[in-house]
Amino acid sequence: MTDPLRHLAEAGRLTRFYGDGAWRDPAGRERAGVVNPASEAVIAEIALGGADDVELAVAAARRAFPAWSRTTPAERAALLDRVHRLVLDRLELFAQALTAEMGAAITYARRAQVPLAAEHLRVARDLLATYPFLSQRGTTAIAREAIGVCGLITPWNWPLYQITAKVGPALAAGCTLVLKPSELSPLSALLFAEVMDEAGCPAGVFNLVNGTGPVVGEALAAHPEVDMISITGSTRAGVLVAQAAAPTVKRVAQELGGKSPNVVLPDADLKRCIPLGVAAAMRNLGQSCSAPTRMLVPRAHLAEVEALAEKTVAGFAVGDPLREETTHGAIANRAQFDRIERMIRIGLDEGARLVTGGPGRPGGLTTGLFARPTVFSAVRRDMTIAREEIFGPVLAILPYDSVEEAVEIANDTIYGLGAHVQGTDLEQVRAVAGRIRAGQVHLNGPDWDPAAPFGGYKRSGNGREYGREGLEEYLETKSILGFYR
């Protein structure tokens, strides 16, 4: 079966939570509708949890922690291998769920959202074969041990991808966990809970509670038996979680907002890098915290860049996400759609030059949360669209007069998550990359490396995900003196 709604409904999963190795009814009766953004129709109803549901899930995770944390790396790798294979086996079911719950084009869900999510599981599995959980430093042993019970809070824009980016390393480290996915895109999370169950995850190691941030998220963050919170979301949400967690002095790992620059150096091959840069900015309809939505270009090349950007956007196909030819589907939810429309109008009001796009739905679309991929040029660094995270298909092109000024503009932001640098002289490209205050910098392309640590400087958060550094976020360090004689 590849119909996720029918599958979940027939299994009775939609209004239940997964905890302590079984599906159970929630403590309360609060419900929320799941909206398909392409049709704006309510397609399902899920249960929303409360503090009592969090209490049960955390208690289950706490009971499971002693045994799970003592398993061998090989045992944990075996579980992750089973989960990895099951996710890939159900690629089409997950892809259909992502399209239904957050509007991703089905082709993009199939080739990116699901396969890249599976990669996080593979990387976590493979790390367990080589990671030194015990190492020697003179006569002292340095032990890396699971931090404990982890609360994982994931967003609506890359629902499955962000779940596996946290669950994979947390399980690999030997932690037990409680997952709170976004209530706006919960279908893929429920399917993932089924995968965990069928993979033979021991009772209490993985638990899922649906609910809102102010209720379930805050209860997890404040809970004294939760040892760590990992959140991916807005900077505002990250601040609230950190405040709730502060009294219990737990570790808080945050992957938050961004306003990433794409520095196009004077010697860059514009015909190559501009289409790539536009595509990267509007990947997932710009609903990515690291999207390079500020393109910095030499002033002398501005007209050529505008023409190339306009031509690139003209090749996009916005519309029904289930059509094979669609490249960009619907904006994930009404609140985000309204924000994108408002920010486009602000860009016009503040005097940015509209190259393509603009407010309103693309031609021929009268319903659904469809936004026009929009490019502004001659954008000043003090404009709202150059400073605030829009989280939509809106690219701001900012001209510069020197490389020194380009670096200054790139760093003129409260964020520091990602960046891109394009140029022919690799020595200069590397030098500019070294001066940008961001956690991950892409040189001459939007290539993705699942083993490369990812995270932010400044208000983009703290801590790292992916690869070895992502695993280490879930570990404590213990020194055992006199261990070696």
Query: Distance (Å, rounded) from C-alpha 110 to C-alpha 114?
Result: 6
Backbone angles phi, psi at 186, to 5 degrees: -95, -10
What's the pLDDT at 67?
Answer: 98
Query: Distance (Å, rounded) from C-alpha 192 to C-alpha 188?
Result: 6
> Which residue has tokens 């936004």?
371
CA dihedral angle for residue 304, residue 306, residue 310, residue 313, rounded to 10 degrees: 110
- The H-assigned helical ranges of 209-301 are 218-222, 235-245, 270-281
**For the chain, what is the domain count?**
2
Tokens of 3: 């119909």
> Which residue has tokens 């002398």?
300
Residue 201 bears catalytic tag: no
CA dihedral angle for residue 26, residue 32, residue 33, residue 37, rounded to 10 degrees: -120
Give pLDDT tens digits for 92-108.
999 999 999 999 999 99
Residue 289 bears catalytic tag: yes
CB neighbour burial string for 106-143, b if at least 16 within 10 angstroms, e if fewer: bbbbbebbbbbbbbbbbbbbbbbeebeeeeeeeeebeb
Cα atoms in the 13 Å half-sphere on the side-chain side of 98: 30
Q: Based on the domain organization, do 131 and 148 belong to the same domain?
A: yes
Cα 351 to chain centroid, rounded: 32
Query: Distance (Å, rounded) from C-alpha 414 to C-alpha 175?
Result: 33
Q: Based on the domain organization, do 228 and 268 belong to the same domain?
A: no
Q: Is residue 427 part of a domain?
A: yes
Query: Distance (Å, rounded) from C-alpha 391 to C-alpha 394?
Result: 8
Q: Count other C-beta atoms under 10 Å from residue 42's C-beta.
A: 11
Q: Based on the domain organization, do 238 and 322 belong to the same domain?
A: no
Cα 474 to chain centroid, rounded: 18
What's the pLDDT at 1?
Answer: 67
Q: Based on the domain organization, do 77 and 189 belong to the same domain?
A: yes
Q: Based on the domain organization, do 134 and 238 belong to the same domain?
A: yes
Backbone angles phi, psi at 281, to 5 degrees: -65, -30
Q: Is residue 12 part of a domain?
A: yes
The pTM (predicted TM-score) of the whole model is 0.97
3-state secondary structure of 255: strand
Q: Based on the domain organization, do 265 and 225 belong to the same domain?
A: no
Direct distance between the N- and C-terminal alpha carbons of the chain, in angstroms, rounded to an integer: 60
Q: Based on the domain organization, do 10 and 105 belong to the same domain?
A: yes
Q: Is residue 240 part of a domain?
A: yes
Q: Which residue is catalytic, options 289, 306, 341, 472?
A: 289
> Which residue has tokens 């939810």?
333
CATH label of the domain that carries residue 347 = 3.40.309.10
Number of helices (H), then strands (E), in the chain:
17, 22
Q: Are residues 297 and 307 in contact, defined by beta-carbon separation less than 8 angstroms?
A: no
Regions in the chain scoring below 70 on pLDDT: 1, 446
Query: Distance (Å, rounded) from C-alpha 364 to C-alpha 10?
Result: 36
Give pLDDT tens digits for 145-197.
999 999 999 999 999 999 999 999 999 999 999 999 999 999 999 999 999 99
**What rounded mean pLDDT belongs to the chain?**
97
Q: Based on the domain organization, do 211 and 294 belong to the same domain?
A: no
Length of the chain: 485
Tokens of 480: 């055992």
Query: Distance (Å, rounded) from C-alpha 447 to C-alpha 422?
Result: 13
Q: Based on the domain organization, do 471 and 408 belong to the same domain?
A: no
Q: Is residue 454 part of a domain?
A: no
3-state DSSP: the chain helix, strand, coil percent, rounded to 5?
Answer: 40, 20, 35
DSSP code for 229:
E
> Which residue has tokens 């196909």?
317
CATH label of the domain that carries residue 234 = 3.40.605.10
Q: Is residue 186 part of a domain?
A: yes
What's the pLDDT at 447?
Answer: 77
Q: Is residue 228 part of a domain?
A: yes
3-state secondary structure of 31: strand
Among 118, 60, 116, smallest CA distance to 86 is for 118
Q: Based on the domain organization, do 275 and 223 belong to the same domain?
A: no
Domain span at 399:
261-449
Q: Based on the domain organization, do 181 and 283 belong to the same domain?
A: no
What's the pLDDT at 129?
Answer: 97
Query: Distance (Å, rounded) from C-alpha 148 to C-alpha 69?
Result: 8
Tokens of 313: 């956007």
Query: Distance (Å, rounded) from C-alpha 341 to C-alpha 339?
Result: 5
**DSSP E strand boundaries for 248-388:** 251-255, 261-264, 294-298, 353-356, 374-377
Tokens of 242: 């950190």
Query: Distance (Å, rounded) from C-alpha 167 to C-alpha 152?
Result: 8
Query: Distance (Å, rounded) from C-alpha 383 to C-alpha 471?
Result: 39
Q: Based on the domain organization, do 296 and 370 belong to the same domain?
A: yes
Task: Give me the residues paired with residue 400 across strands.
Answer: 298
What's the pLDDT at 242?
Answer: 96
Among 281, 369, 280, 277, smallest CA distance to 329 is for 369
Q: Is residue 455 part of a domain?
A: no
Q: Which residue is catalytic, options 183, 255, 341, 472?
A: 255
Q: Is residue 94 part of a domain?
A: yes
